[in-house]
Amino acid sequence: MALIALAAGSLSLVACSDDGDAEATSTPAVEATAAETAAATEVAATPAATEMAEDMAHDASAGALLAALRLVDTAGFHGMDETLNGDTPAINASWVGAANHAISATQAVTWPGESEAAAATFLADAQALVVALDADDVAAAAPLAAAVHESQHAFSHAAFHELEHLGARDASPGAMLAALIYLDNAGFHGMDEALNGDAPEIVASWTGATSRALTAARVVAWGEQQAAADAFIAGATELLAALEADDASSAAAP
């Protein structure tokens, strides 16, 4: 596990080396809730996010898919659902922008295979939620938030499945950067510390985070850094198998 974290960090550093100094970070991978939701929605709600999505111009490349999925997956729909269907439901002002930018990103990309239908379902749910959020209608937004939370998960799952079958790897710098976002935020450092700590235990969210990072690494052509990418892919594949088997001992092994 320690080598997985090291490989991911090394790949990030060498892949970004041509653009100046870069510090690879690995934060614990959890679904967007609480503090992460607040941070993600602040970023997603910027005009630049919409402009970036619109510039994709219905792109079908792996890099465009990864970038769009990142906006969708970090928009904070999980947190919206929990808050609106919790004990003290209330609408956060940043949610409208975050949801709208996730919608823009989804609309800007051509989704392959089964992910096209999943994207359409997500879009319908998200657009309905935005109407309720715009109206500051908590009662109407609550069931809609639950629906979009569910359809966002289904959409993300379908899209990552289709990514694995795109064929040729994406060699663009944008694809590399989009993939690195998934690697750097998968939480391998935290997994390493937890699994090799005093009370090793597997967290359910690690499987999805590892799987997404693995897919992102596989669909990109890494050029001179392909050997580092292949080392990460091999290690992450073994880690994913251990996580899926709930085998903390194997997952912790170097």
- Each of the 254 residues of the chain gets a pLDDT tens digit; together they read 655 555 565 565 545 444 443 333 333 343 444 444 444 444 444 455 445 545 545 678 999 999 999 999 999 999 999 999 999 999 999 999 999 999 999 999 999 999 999 999 999 999 999 999 999 999 999 999 999 999 999 999 999 999 999 888 999 999 999 999 999 999 999 999 999 999 999 999 999 999 999 999 999 999 999 999 999 999 999 999 999 999 999 999 86
Task: Enumerate residues 6+ apart whose C-beta is below 8 A from 119.
Answer: 106, 111, 155, 159
Which pLDDT score, from 0 to 100, does residue 26 have?
39
Which pLDDT score, from 0 to 100, does residue 11 have?
65
Which pLDDT score, from 0 to 100, does residue 167 have?
83
DSSP letter at 18 equals: G
Question: Distance (Å, rounded) from C-alpha 40 to C-alpha 209?
Answer: 16
Which pLDDT score, from 0 to 100, does residue 25 have?
38
Count of alpha carbons within 13 angstroms of residue 236, beta-carbon side: 31
223-249: string of b/e by CB count within 10 Å (b at 16+)?
eebeebbebbbebbebbbebbeeeebe
Which pLDDT score, from 0 to 100, does residue 31 have?
43
Which pLDDT score, from 0 to 100, does residue 27 have?
37
Domain with CATH 1.20.120 in the chain: 34-163
Looking at the structure, give the CATH architecture of the domain made up of residues 34-163. Up-down Bundle (1.20)
